[in-house]
Amino acid sequence: MMEPLYFKEQLQAKEDMLASTTNFLLQTQNDLERKNKELILSNNDIFDSINFASIIQNSLLPDVNILKIFFKDASYQVIQQIGIGGDTVFIKNTNKGVVFGLLDSTGHGIPAALLSISSILLLKELMTSMEIDNPKILLNLLNSRLHKTFNNKASIAHNEGAFFCYSSANNSLIYSSAKGKAILLNKHGEIQELCSTKKSIGDNATTEFELFELAIMTGDKLIIYSDGLTDQFGGEKNRKFSRAGLKTLLSKQYLKNASDLCKLIHHEFVTWKGENKQTDDVSFIIIEF
Protein backbone atom coordinates (compact mmCIF):
# COMPACT_ATOMS: atom_id res chain seq x y z
CA MET A 1 0.00 0.00 0.00
CA MET A 2 1.12 3.53 -0.78
CA GLU A 3 2.02 5.71 2.14
CA PRO A 4 -0.30 8.58 3.08
CA LEU A 5 2.67 10.89 2.58
CA TYR A 6 2.78 10.02 -1.14
CA PHE A 7 -0.87 10.98 -1.67
CA LYS A 8 -0.36 14.16 0.26
CA GLU A 9 2.58 15.11 -1.98
CA GLN A 10 0.57 14.32 -5.13
CA LEU A 11 -2.35 16.44 -3.90
CA GLN A 12 -0.04 19.31 -3.05
CA ALA A 13 1.57 19.15 -6.50
CA LYS A 14 -1.82 19.33 -8.18
CA GLU A 15 -2.90 22.19 -5.96
CA ASP A 16 0.31 24.06 -6.82
CA MET A 17 -0.28 23.44 -10.54
CA LEU A 18 -3.90 24.63 -10.25
CA ALA A 19 -2.78 27.77 -8.41
CA SER A 20 -0.10 28.43 -11.03
CA THR A 21 -2.61 27.95 -13.87
CA THR A 22 -5.15 30.19 -12.14
CA ASN A 23 -2.54 32.94 -11.68
CA PHE A 24 -1.55 32.61 -15.34
CA LEU A 25 -5.17 32.89 -16.51
CA LEU A 26 -5.79 35.88 -14.26
CA GLN A 27 -2.66 37.59 -15.59
CA THR A 28 -3.74 36.81 -19.16
CA GLN A 29 -7.20 38.21 -18.47
CA ASN A 30 -5.71 41.39 -17.00
CA ASP A 31 -3.41 41.76 -20.03
CA LEU A 32 -6.35 41.29 -22.42
CA GLU A 33 -8.45 43.84 -20.53
CA ARG A 34 -5.57 46.33 -20.61
CA LYS A 35 -4.98 45.78 -24.35
CA ASN A 36 -8.72 46.05 -25.01
CA LYS A 37 -8.82 49.43 -23.24
CA GLU A 38 -5.81 50.55 -25.27
CA LEU A 39 -7.55 49.44 -28.50
CA ILE A 40 -10.73 51.30 -27.54
CA LEU A 41 -8.75 54.48 -26.85
CA SER A 42 -6.80 54.07 -30.10
CA ASN A 43 -10.02 53.38 -32.02
CA ASN A 44 -11.65 56.47 -30.53
CA ASP A 45 -8.62 58.56 -31.51
CA ILE A 46 -8.82 57.25 -35.08
CA PHE A 47 -12.53 58.01 -35.36
CA ASP A 48 -12.06 61.45 -33.85
CA SER A 49 -9.34 62.14 -36.42
CA ILE A 50 -11.54 60.86 -39.26
CA ASN A 51 -14.46 63.00 -38.08
CA PHE A 52 -12.25 66.09 -37.95
CA ALA A 53 -10.75 65.26 -41.35
CA SER A 54 -14.29 64.88 -42.70
CA ILE A 55 -15.11 68.42 -41.56
CA ILE A 56 -11.99 69.71 -43.35
CA GLN A 57 -12.76 67.81 -46.57
CA ASN A 58 -16.42 68.82 -46.59
CA SER A 59 -15.41 72.47 -46.18
CA LEU A 60 -13.82 72.23 -49.64
CA LEU A 61 -17.11 71.22 -51.25
CA PRO A 62 -18.55 74.01 -53.40
CA ASP A 63 -21.69 76.08 -52.93
CA VAL A 64 -24.50 74.55 -54.99
CA ASN A 65 -26.14 77.99 -55.22
CA ILE A 66 -23.55 78.93 -57.87
CA LEU A 67 -25.24 76.40 -60.17
CA LYS A 68 -28.68 77.76 -59.31
CA ILE A 69 -27.63 81.12 -60.77
CA PHE A 70 -27.37 79.48 -64.19
CA PHE A 71 -29.92 76.66 -64.04
CA LYS A 72 -33.50 76.16 -62.92
CA ASP A 73 -32.39 73.90 -60.05
CA ALA A 74 -29.35 71.94 -58.91
CA SER A 75 -28.36 69.67 -56.05
CA TYR A 76 -25.64 67.18 -55.13
CA GLN A 77 -24.68 64.57 -52.54
CA VAL A 78 -21.29 63.22 -51.43
CA ILE A 79 -21.38 60.14 -49.18
CA GLN A 80 -17.89 58.92 -48.36
CA GLN A 81 -17.49 55.29 -47.32
CA ILE A 82 -15.84 56.07 -43.95
CA GLY A 83 -16.53 59.79 -43.61
CA ILE A 84 -13.58 60.83 -45.76
CA GLY A 85 -12.79 59.53 -49.22
CA GLY A 86 -12.09 60.07 -52.88
CA ASP A 87 -15.35 61.46 -54.28
CA THR A 88 -15.74 65.19 -54.69
CA VAL A 89 -17.67 67.85 -56.60
CA PHE A 90 -16.25 70.87 -58.39
CA ILE A 91 -18.11 74.11 -59.31
CA LYS A 92 -16.51 77.32 -60.55
CA ASN A 93 -18.08 80.24 -62.37
CA THR A 94 -16.21 81.81 -65.29
CA ASN A 95 -16.53 84.97 -67.38
CA LYS A 96 -18.78 83.08 -69.79
CA GLY A 97 -20.72 80.78 -67.50
CA VAL A 98 -19.89 77.94 -65.14
CA VAL A 99 -17.69 74.83 -65.03
CA PHE A 100 -18.85 71.92 -62.92
CA GLY A 101 -18.08 68.24 -62.52
CA LEU A 102 -17.41 65.25 -60.35
CA LEU A 103 -14.21 63.35 -59.52
CA ASP A 104 -13.85 59.80 -58.22
CA SER A 105 -10.29 59.23 -56.96
CA THR A 106 -8.37 55.98 -56.54
CA GLY A 107 -9.18 53.88 -53.48
CA HIS A 108 -10.96 54.79 -50.27
CA GLY A 109 -10.35 56.50 -46.96
CA ILE A 110 -7.34 58.66 -46.18
CA PRO A 111 -5.25 58.03 -49.36
CA ALA A 112 -8.24 58.71 -51.60
CA ALA A 113 -9.12 61.83 -49.60
CA LEU A 114 -5.58 63.19 -50.00
CA LEU A 115 -5.71 62.59 -53.76
CA SER A 116 -9.17 64.13 -53.97
CA ILE A 117 -8.07 67.26 -52.10
CA SER A 118 -4.92 67.51 -54.24
CA SER A 119 -7.02 67.26 -57.41
CA ILE A 120 -9.43 69.97 -56.27
CA LEU A 121 -6.59 72.33 -55.36
CA LEU A 122 -4.98 71.72 -58.76
CA LEU A 123 -8.29 72.41 -60.50
CA LYS A 124 -8.76 75.65 -58.60
CA GLU A 125 -5.21 76.70 -59.43
CA LEU A 126 -5.71 75.95 -63.14
CA MET A 127 -9.07 77.75 -63.26
CA THR A 128 -7.71 80.81 -61.44
CA SER A 129 -4.41 81.18 -63.27
CA MET A 130 -5.57 80.35 -66.80
CA GLU A 131 -9.30 81.26 -66.96
CA ILE A 132 -10.11 77.90 -68.57
CA ASP A 133 -13.66 77.42 -69.84
CA ASN A 134 -13.02 74.32 -71.95
CA PRO A 135 -13.44 71.00 -70.09
CA LYS A 136 -11.17 69.13 -72.50
CA ILE A 137 -8.28 71.49 -71.82
CA LEU A 138 -9.02 71.34 -68.09
CA LEU A 139 -8.87 67.53 -68.02
CA ASN A 140 -5.75 67.43 -70.20
CA LEU A 141 -3.93 69.83 -67.88
CA LEU A 142 -5.13 68.06 -64.73
CA ASN A 143 -4.03 64.75 -66.24
CA SER A 144 -0.55 66.10 -66.94
CA ARG A 145 -0.17 67.62 -63.47
CA LEU A 146 -1.40 64.50 -61.65
CA HIS A 147 0.84 62.21 -63.66
CA LYS A 148 3.87 64.39 -63.03
CA THR A 149 3.10 64.67 -59.32
CA PHE A 150 2.09 61.10 -58.43
CA ASN A 151 2.71 58.69 -61.30
CA ASN A 152 6.05 59.71 -62.76
CA LYS A 153 7.77 56.55 -61.47
CA ALA A 154 4.86 54.26 -60.65
CA SER A 155 1.14 54.42 -61.34
CA ILE A 156 -0.35 54.90 -57.88
CA ALA A 157 -3.11 57.49 -58.33
CA HIS A 158 -5.75 58.38 -60.84
CA ASN A 159 -9.20 59.99 -61.11
CA GLU A 160 -12.33 59.23 -63.06
CA GLY A 161 -15.10 61.71 -63.71
CA ALA A 162 -16.71 64.22 -66.02
CA PHE A 163 -16.55 68.01 -66.36
CA PHE A 164 -19.05 70.28 -68.06
CA CYS A 165 -18.89 73.90 -69.18
CA TYR A 166 -22.08 75.86 -69.64
CA SER A 167 -22.09 79.09 -71.61
CA SER A 168 -24.92 81.39 -70.59
CA ALA A 169 -24.47 83.56 -73.70
CA ASN A 170 -25.60 80.87 -76.16
CA ASN A 171 -27.11 78.29 -73.78
CA SER A 172 -24.56 75.67 -74.85
CA LEU A 173 -23.15 72.78 -72.85
CA ILE A 174 -19.88 71.05 -73.67
CA TYR A 175 -18.16 68.36 -71.67
CA SER A 176 -15.20 66.04 -71.39
CA SER A 177 -15.24 62.74 -69.53
CA ALA A 178 -12.62 60.35 -68.18
CA LYS A 179 -14.57 57.14 -67.62
CA GLY A 180 -17.24 59.41 -66.15
CA LYS A 181 -20.82 58.31 -65.62
CA ALA A 182 -23.51 60.73 -66.73
CA ILE A 183 -27.10 60.57 -67.93
CA LEU A 184 -29.30 63.10 -69.70
CA LEU A 185 -32.92 62.70 -68.60
CA ASN A 186 -35.15 64.65 -70.97
CA LYS A 187 -38.44 66.29 -70.07
CA HIS A 188 -40.36 63.27 -71.41
CA GLY A 189 -38.53 60.80 -69.16
CA GLU A 190 -36.29 59.43 -71.92
CA ILE A 191 -32.72 58.54 -70.95
CA GLN A 192 -29.45 59.10 -72.83
CA GLU A 193 -26.18 57.78 -71.40
CA LEU A 194 -23.38 60.21 -72.26
CA CYS A 195 -20.19 59.31 -74.11
CA SER A 196 -16.84 59.15 -72.34
CA THR A 197 -13.15 58.80 -73.09
CA LYS A 198 -12.16 55.37 -71.72
CA LYS A 199 -9.04 56.69 -69.99
CA SER A 200 -8.40 57.77 -66.40
CA ILE A 201 -6.94 61.10 -65.34
CA GLY A 202 -3.28 60.78 -64.32
CA ASP A 203 -2.47 57.36 -65.79
CA ASN A 204 -0.69 58.55 -68.92
CA ALA A 205 0.84 61.98 -69.44
CA THR A 206 0.01 61.96 -73.17
CA THR A 207 -3.69 61.09 -72.86
CA GLU A 208 -5.97 63.41 -74.86
CA PHE A 209 -9.55 63.58 -73.69
CA GLU A 210 -12.37 64.10 -76.16
CA LEU A 211 -14.70 67.09 -76.23
CA PHE A 212 -18.44 66.50 -76.60
CA GLU A 213 -21.36 68.88 -77.08
CA LEU A 214 -24.70 68.18 -75.48
CA ALA A 215 -28.00 69.54 -76.79
CA ILE A 216 -30.20 70.59 -73.88
CA MET A 217 -33.78 71.83 -73.64
CA THR A 218 -35.81 73.39 -70.86
CA GLY A 219 -37.01 70.65 -68.51
CA ASP A 220 -34.09 68.30 -69.18
CA LYS A 221 -32.00 67.03 -66.27
CA LEU A 222 -28.34 66.03 -66.16
CA ILE A 223 -27.25 63.37 -63.67
CA ILE A 224 -23.52 62.86 -63.04
CA TYR A 225 -22.59 60.07 -60.63
CA SER A 226 -19.74 57.91 -59.36
CA ASP A 227 -19.83 54.12 -59.68
CA GLY A 228 -20.17 53.76 -55.91
CA LEU A 229 -23.88 54.51 -56.39
CA THR A 230 -24.60 51.73 -58.88
CA ASP A 231 -22.10 49.22 -57.40
CA GLN A 232 -23.73 49.21 -53.96
CA PHE A 233 -24.88 45.76 -52.84
CA GLY A 234 -28.27 45.43 -51.22
CA GLY A 235 -31.93 44.74 -51.84
CA GLU A 236 -33.74 41.47 -51.19
CA LYS A 237 -31.21 39.40 -53.19
CA ASN A 238 -28.09 41.35 -52.14
CA ARG A 239 -27.26 42.49 -55.66
CA LYS A 240 -25.78 45.68 -57.06
CA PHE A 241 -28.12 48.65 -57.40
CA SER A 242 -26.81 48.79 -61.01
CA ARG A 243 -27.06 51.31 -63.84
CA ALA A 244 -30.30 49.65 -64.92
CA GLY A 245 -31.75 50.22 -61.46
CA LEU A 246 -30.74 53.87 -61.52
CA LYS A 247 -32.21 54.40 -65.00
CA THR A 248 -35.46 52.72 -63.98
CA LEU A 249 -35.71 55.02 -60.96
CA LEU A 250 -34.99 58.12 -63.06
CA SER A 251 -37.49 57.21 -65.78
CA LYS A 252 -40.23 56.79 -63.17
CA GLN A 253 -39.42 59.99 -61.25
CA TYR A 254 -38.49 62.32 -64.13
CA LEU A 255 -41.12 64.91 -63.17
CA LYS A 256 -39.42 65.68 -59.85
CA ASN A 257 -37.20 68.75 -59.67
CA ALA A 258 -33.44 68.37 -59.19
CA SER A 259 -33.49 68.91 -55.42
CA ASP A 260 -36.29 66.40 -54.78
CA LEU A 261 -34.75 63.89 -57.18
CA CYS A 262 -31.43 64.19 -55.36
CA LYS A 263 -33.12 63.47 -52.03
CA LEU A 264 -34.98 60.53 -53.57
CA ILE A 265 -31.81 58.93 -54.96
CA HIS A 266 -30.15 59.34 -51.57
CA HIS A 267 -33.12 57.71 -49.87
CA GLU A 268 -33.19 54.84 -52.38
CA PHE A 269 -29.46 54.30 -51.93
CA VAL A 270 -29.74 54.11 -48.13
CA THR A 271 -32.78 51.82 -48.35
CA TRP A 272 -31.11 49.55 -50.90
CA LYS A 273 -27.92 49.31 -48.82
CA GLY A 274 -29.85 48.38 -45.69
CA GLU A 275 -27.56 46.74 -43.13
CA ASN A 276 -24.82 46.11 -45.72
CA LYS A 277 -21.48 47.87 -45.55
CA GLN A 278 -21.17 50.76 -47.99
CA THR A 279 -19.24 49.37 -50.97
CA ASP A 280 -17.53 52.56 -52.15
CA ASP A 281 -17.57 56.34 -51.93
CA VAL A 282 -20.73 57.73 -53.52
CA SER A 283 -21.47 61.07 -55.17
CA PHE A 284 -23.92 62.50 -57.67
CA ILE A 285 -24.93 65.86 -59.11
CA ILE A 286 -28.31 66.70 -60.61
CA ILE A 287 -28.82 69.74 -62.83
CA GLU A 288 -32.24 70.87 -64.07
CA PHE A 289 -32.24 73.09 -67.15
What pLDDT was estimated at residue 82?
A: 92
CB atoms within 10 A of CB 81: 19
What pTM value is reported for the model? 0.84
What pLDDT was estimated at residue 20?
A: 78
CB 283 within 8 A of CB 102: yes
Q: Mean pLDDT per segment of 10 residues, for the chain of length 289 residues?
A: 65 75 80 80 78 90 96 97 95 93 92 92 88 91 91 81 94 96 96 95 92 95 97 95 96 96 97 95 97
What pLDDT was estimated at residue 260?
A: 97
- The CATH fold of domain 62-288: Phosphatase 2c; domain 1 (3.60.40)
CA dihedral sign of residues 215, 219, 175, 131: positive
CA dihedral sign of residues 273, 277, 280, 283: positive
The full set of domain ranges for the chain reads 1-59, 62-288
Helix count and strand count (H, E) for the chain? 7, 12
What pLDDT was estimated at residue 63?
A: 96
| Bridge partners of residue 151, in order along the sequence | none
Burial 43-64 (b: 16+ CB within 10 A, else e): eeeeeeebeebbeebeeeebeb
What pLDDT was estimated at residue 1?
A: 52
Q: How far is CA 48 from CA 13, 41, 200, 283, in A?
A: 52, 10, 33, 23
